[in-house]
Amino acid sequence: MGRPKEFDTTVHVRLDFMQHAFIKQLAQLGGITLAAAVRAVVENAMRDVYEGRIPNDSERVLNDSEKEKDQ
Higher pLDDT, 54 or 45: 45
Tens-place pLDDT, residues 5-39: 777 788 888 889 999 999 999 999 999 999 999 99
Position 16 scores a pLDDT of: 92
For the entire predicted model, the pTM comes to 0.60
Domain membership flag for residue 69: yes
Give the residue numbers spanning the domain of 37: 31-71
Domain membership flag for residue 23: no
pLDDT over threshold 90, residue 52 = no
Please state the domain count of the chain. Answer: 1
Q: How far is CA 33 from the centre of its chain?
A: 17
On the 0-12 / 13-18 / 19+ scale of CB atoms within 10 A, 32 is: middle
Domain membership flag for residue 22: no
